[in-house]
Structure 1
Amino acid sequence: MPSKWFSSSAYRHKVVLVSGGCSGIGRALVLRFAQAGAHPVILDLDQAALDALVQHLREHLNVEALGLRCDIADAEAVQRSVALAIERFGGIDVLVNNAGITHRSLFIETELTVFRRVMAVNFYGALHCTQAALPSLLARHGQIVVLSSLTGFAPLLYRSAYNASKHALHGLFDTLRMELEGTGTAITLACPGFTATDLRRNALVGDGSVIRQPAVVLGAEVASPRDVAEAIYQGARRRRRLLVLSNVNWRARVLARFFPRLFEKLLVPKMSGLRPGH
């Protein structure tokens, strides 16, 4: 493993593509990599936010960045965006699969379109970005950072589609990591806990509409995007395979690991928030 990845200058002049990079953890990661001297390529759906962030990076950090409006659920749009990034900067060194959406609804009340939309963004979006960027990542001995979730280990109630999408990410990228063994291209799966982002404030409900109020979470503190991004950045710099950043206390994690039925009975309902409609 190249020792340069452990140095404080590991990302200087590197090209870092971040999906969903205009808000929450994604924006915080864009800023953190930019502070380390990287050239961010930012994919997002909000053109105004993209323009503002690129301008901020140029004026305040003297960093050249590229903002591209792109729906990562559209494989062809992703291919075009990655091609533009490579044309602009010569290649991609780091891919951060960050973009995601969630929902809060009982399985029996959740329409198939919600499952398809959540999987289209959370799973297929990461798949599309990875397929498009992988040739360049391989050529540059780069790395992939995947934003999974606490739900990859402890599924929450009322989020069956979201939980399923995160489990699918683990299956995909754990397999890909084995296939890339010896290529010099690394994969980090990062699993944050509860974080104060727009993801929680803009959850889908069963019919596909958006609820603007975040779920009230009991039994866990809510982390800031900046703190989560810093932890992910440091883990990526060390090329960690798995980062579990859960802010659920250690007793809850021990309970989930060794006494899952007790964990499901005592803590999952509190962590999941109120039942939808209540």
Structure 2
Amino acid sequence: MTRVLITGAASGLGWALAQRFFAGGADVILVDIDRQRLLERAADLAAAAPERIHHYAVDLTDDKAVAELIAAIEADIGGLDVLINNAGITHRSLACQTDMAVLRQVMAVDWQAPVALTLALMPLLRASRGQIINIGSMAGWMPVLGRAGYCSAKAALGQFFETLRGEIAADGVSILMVYPSFLDTPIETNALGGDGRPAAHKRSTVGSIRSAGWMAERIVTAAKKRERRLFPDRLTWFSSLLWRLAPDLYQHLMTRKLASELEPR
């Protein structure tokens, strides 16, 4: 039986992934900071097969809480086959109008937490010759106005795990980096403003906004094939290519498409 741990599992893409892995026969370990929503989600799945559901309410930026989570997984489950680092937050605010506390929070959740959790779970993943799936973003490859902190965190995530990939290749642990574009998930609904309060303006987007279910299906398919990277649509792939080959053109197009981000708030 495949054992899959998903962070940020109580909503959005994390919940869509939990449903699909569970439907595929996996034991699913749900991890989220929202205890009430987590209990509801666990109950939804447990109605069909309670023995295949485990859930832990954890603040992944709390080192002590993460250590307790690792101990619980070892005691309750005994191993792990797939780790999905999905939990994340974002902000919508210009860099010069964003408190450092907000930038630190985004970096802590989107980079530090998945790195710390992965390293702590590495013995279990090595034992199972398992798989790590990281939900990155096209913002990790190219700049996006109003998301300087988010872009930085996702870029750091990609660089860390691409380096780790080479270091653990001999252990049989594979890494899938997922680079979605704009998704219809609560991460944007709950985006922070520059002062740490909820962002007051709606997000600017480019291209189609995909559903969490659409994205989850593609991730599950890529995971089965043990793929290394997933650019799920042509816009994501083309934008990353444009940024690398013609960065000035990309900057011009981005500024035009996301001009509303530059308006006074």
TM bracket (short chain): over 0.9
1:90 to 68, 74, 78: 78
Query: Could you say what secondary structure the match of 1:95 adopts?
Result: strand
2:170 to 164, 182, 205: 182
1:118 to 106, 113, 120: 106
TM-aligned CA distance change 1:157 to 1:33, over 3 Å: same
1:133 to 105, 117, 121: 121
Q: Which has the higher helix share?
A: 2
Q: Distance in 2 between matches of 1:249 and 1:26?
A: 20
2:152 to 159, 164, 182: 164
Two-structure CA RMSD over aligned residues (Å): 1.9
1:76 aligns with 2:58: no
TM-aligned CA distance change 1:15 to 1:91, over 3 Å: same
Quote the offset at 1:59 in angstroms.
Answer: 1.3
TM-aligned CA distance change 1:249 to 1:44, over 3 Å: closer
TM-aligned CA distance change 1:130 to 1:276, over 3 Å: farther
Q: Distance in 2 between matches of 1:41 and 1:147?
A: 17
CA contact (8 A) 1:18 1:98 kept: yes
1:260-271 alignment runs, 5 A limit = 260-271=247-258
CA contact (8 A) 1:145 1:189 kept: yes
TM-aligned CA distance change 1:254 to 1:145, over 3 Å: closer
Structure 1 stretch 266-275 or stretch 99-108: which is displaced more?
A: 266-275
1:36-51 alignment runs, 5 A limit = 36-51=24-39
The C-alpha deviation readout for 1:223-249, integer Å capped at 9, x for no partner, is 000010111111111111111124627
TM-aligned CA distance change 1:34 to 1:227, over 3 Å: same
For normalisation by structure 1, the TM-score amounts to 0.89
The count of corresponding residues between Structure 1 and Structure 2 is 265
Residue 232 (structure 2) aligns with = 245
* Structure 1 ranges of 4+ moved more than 6 A: none
1:275 aligns with 2:262: yes
Quote the offset at 1:209 in angstroms.
Answer: 1.0
Structure 1 stretch 266-275 or stretch 41-50: which is displaced more?
A: 266-275
AA matched with 1:143: Q
Q: Distance in 2 between matches of 1:159 and 1:272?
A: 13
TM-aligned CA distance change 1:192 to 1:209, over 3 Å: same
TM-aligned CA distance change 1:163 to 1:59, over 3 Å: same
Gaps of 5+ in 1: 1-12
Q: Distance in 2 between matches of 1:169 and 1:107?
A: 20
TM-aligned CA distance change 1:233 to 1:211, over 3 Å: same
2:185 to 190, 197, 215: 197
For normalisation by structure 2, the TM-score amounts to 0.93
1:18-57 alignment runs, 5 A limit = 18-57=6-45
1:231 aligns with 2:181: no
The C-alpha deviation readout for 1:88-122, integer Å capped at 9, x for no partner, is 11111110000000001111111110111001100
Query: Could you say what secondary structure the match of 1:86 adopts?
Result: helix
AA matched with 1:74: D
TM-aligned CA distance change 1:250 to 1:136, over 3 Å: closer
Identical pairs, percent: 34
AA matched with 1:43: V
TM-aligned CA distance change 1:275 to 1:38, over 3 Å: same
TM-aligned CA distance change 1:271 to 1:233, over 3 Å: farther
